[in-house]
Each structure stands twice: as C-alpha cells, then as structure tokens.
Structure 1
Amino acid sequence: MDTPIQTEFRAWHALWVGADDASRTDEENAAYADRLLEIEDRIRDLPAETPQDFIAKTVALTGFGMSGLPDERQCPALWAEAMAAIA
C-alpha cells in the first residue's frame, strides 16, 4: 500500500519525465511547471512515514539533484524528520 508521499511522488514523477516536451508553448510550460510545484509543495508538507518517503521527498524537492534542498529556516519540518530518522 502506498503512503500519501509515494502516491504524490508517482504523480510528480509522471509529470517530471515529460517536462522536456519542446512542443509546448511558453504558457503551457508555465502551467506544467506550476503543476509540478503544486505536487512538490504537497510532498514537502506531508510527513514521511517510511525511509522511502524521505528519499522521495529529497528526489522531488531537488528535482533529481538539479537544485538544493530548502534550508532549515525554509522547511523546518523536513529537517526535523531528518534528525528524527538519525536519532
């Protein structure tokens, strides 16, 4: 059974793999990016239930490493989850 993060991640990944579609207009690309960001926000805000959830969060929030994770001031819950997993 998927966790809420895994469900959101699957939706995010399905969009992510189609992100480089050159046939879309600028407006369509902006709407596409907005959909990705909406899912990323939901993933960020959901609590990780499993280690796989935390990994899925990291992958989505960094776009497969294309950007850095938000810092502790920007996303304290993410870092609290990380510290709880380490403790």
Structure 2
Amino acid sequence: MMSAPSLLDPAAEELKLADCSGLSAVEIARAAQALLGERFSSVSFMYVLMRAFEVDFYAARDASRWHEFHGGPRALSDADLETLLAPWLDR
C-alpha cells in the first residue's frame, strides 16, 4: 500500500530532526516503522530515507530490498543494509 507523501512527511521530518547519530540503519528502520505504523512498507521506507537523510534514490531503492520486506536471493541482510546506508547515516 502506498501512502500519499503528506502522510509520510511527518515521520520523515521527525527522523530528520531527531538525533540519529550513532544509530544503525536497522535502528533507523525500526524507528521509521514505529513512526509510520501500518503505513510502513518498502516504498514508505524508501521515501523516508530520501526525505530525512537525503539518501540517493538508487540506494533507497536497494534498501527497500531489506529482508524484513522481502525474502529471496536478492534480499538485503541487516549487515548489507548497514553498509549500503552508511554514507548517508554516518554524516
């Protein structure tokens, strides 16, 4: 289910303003899940990453393959997610 950006922006803004330094990508994903509730999906996670942390579209798209959203051979492990998002989250 895709939500309108106006429904996702408050969560993105809250994450953007929060002190997320030192948090892992998985912890940020869990925080996004808590903020978005039933709206949390691979697409909403992508959107929040781009808005809150200025994650590049292609990296956010790849992050949407995190194993908690999708299984299969192309799913990202927690470690893969950490590595992928490190350039944006370590700022």
| TM-based fold match above 0.5 | no
Taking structure 1 as the reference length, the TM-score comes to 0.34
Larger Rg: 1
Taking structure 2 as the reference length, the TM-score comes to 0.33
